Structure 1
Amino acid sequence: MPSTLTPDRVARVSQLSRAITEEVGKAFIGQPTITEALMIALLARGHVLIEGYPGVAKTTLVKAFSGTLGCHFRRIQFTPDLLPSDITGTYILDMRTNTFVLREGPVFTHVLLGDEINRAPAKTQSALLEAMQEHQVTIEGETRTLAEPFIVLATQNPIEQEGTYPLPEAQVDRFLIKLKMGYPSGADEKRMLSTYDKPPIPVRPVVGPSDVLEMQALTQEVFVAEELLDYVIGLVAFTRSHARVYLGASPRAGLALIHASKAMALLRGRDFVLPDDVRNLAALVLSHRILMTPEAELEGQTGNHVVAEAVDKVGFKMPKRA
């Protein structure tokens, strides 16, 4: 079957990505690379976990990004008393018909913002697992398929903050990318201070659900050389054999890195993946999936250190086009 990934379509995806980044920049003051990471997750059919202290515009970023997609958007504010049914929905009795009908929860949407996801206990957090992995939910034994496209953009405060619960390891592994948002640069913060009393600039939709689905389908056709598959396997294997790692990256992590690299290549106007795509995304995709030994944690070592070491030590060959 001939590929539908023509040069014109590649150029169009790249153009739409730039337009989305520019539109997000009207409402969110920060590095464009953050928006690119969200686009990578969207095209790779993944989800994003955004970590940062309160007040660094995590929610503003997500709302601006979702506004450019022209997709249905819902928000869940996670709290300690939030129940799983508050996410997925529940059956209620319709007094008019004397039958039980489903009241759909906020998970039935295209773009789901899980705000401060680590404010809720593990049982409630886990209610998203099936939705994130299989794009479906099971309510009272009945499975319902979610709309496409579907992406979860979750924010969380650092676990050192009071009133937070660590995300279960299985849930963390479902996030394609973990972004850490620090404080803005001096120039960006000055822009914030100079515009805070002005009405926010509305964000216009750049694409629609059908456009997103088309871009996701095109992403799957991006070429990945066999040498790059070996390179990804080498990076993942390095994390598993590291002396300071308690639990290394899973096979799902390797798949995620391939999918993300395809998306980055397409966004940058290519129909093939380069080693730099893998290397640039390794930390974003792998670091949060690595558990360090207690001794390493006491010394301040993190998954980022392991991935940086892997990128430095694991070699690769330049791919050859088929």
Structure 2
Amino acid sequence: MDPDQDAAAAGPLVVITGMTGAGRSTAAKELEDLGYYVVDNLPPSLLRDVVRLVDENRGTGQPIAVVVDVRSGSFFGSLQANLAQRATGRRATLVFLDATDEILVRRQEAARRPHPLQGGGRLLDGLQRERAVLADLRGAADLVIDTSGLNVHQLTDRIAEAFGTADTTKLRVTVLSFGFKYGIPVDADFIADMRFLPNPHWVPELRPGNGRDADVAAYVRSRAGAEEFLDGYVPVLEGVAEGYLREGKRFMRVAVGCTGGKHRSVAMAEEIGRRIAESGHIVRTVHRDLGRE
């Protein structure tokens, strides 16, 4: 069996990295709950040794997750080399957790902990140094999760969504509805704007409902341009999805927005998710701002 086949047969290897305060420990705990063997603050140079020891003691099918961050110091720069498939015998998924500087500062101050790269400067100085160190890794990550607007439970849900099934051969697509007035999801791969459709908010009998209700959904999809959009947009997403799989990417996040995230975006996100699922991908439809009004 060649190395590629060996890696495909072995259990998953998930490497968690990202900004201090973005939720690495929370993600690691959830992976542990999902049955992963978790190692925190691992120097990348020891990655192959950890995989070998786990393989010897628990078998090659044991899922492994490691947390690597700037505390690894000079070892950090070797991470990408050690993630090479032939180096570990497993196909690795690199997860990068991020958040805005404002949120990260707030979290660090609440925890009353200095930043590891802060030195004698400000907390923000440490964050900016960390962003510079991690810039290449963020660009190479298989999955980027922006935790700025997520609480602990929502983050664990995202991790479970990504790694809670043994089936790693299919693309996992999240279709997310949102309201533009609450902010654009910064970790989306695609953003579609449904504000070109008439708003059911201005139809008195439809205003109390939402896009998951049959009458609201029927109204939205019956408006001029709605079906034409779906017929044109979904094949584009499916084409990209196939390309992602060819390139070894297993996650795609599609955001669908309207003004408040209640009617148009919800109805269209539901239909987009349904159509993509028909192609055999694993689809989860989430309504970020539904019920917020």
TM range (shorter): 0.3 to 0.5
* Greater relative contact order structure (CA < 8 Å, 6+ sep): 1
Question: TM-score if structure 1 supplies the norm length?
Answer: 0.33
Question: TM-score if structure 2 supplies the norm length?
Answer: 0.35
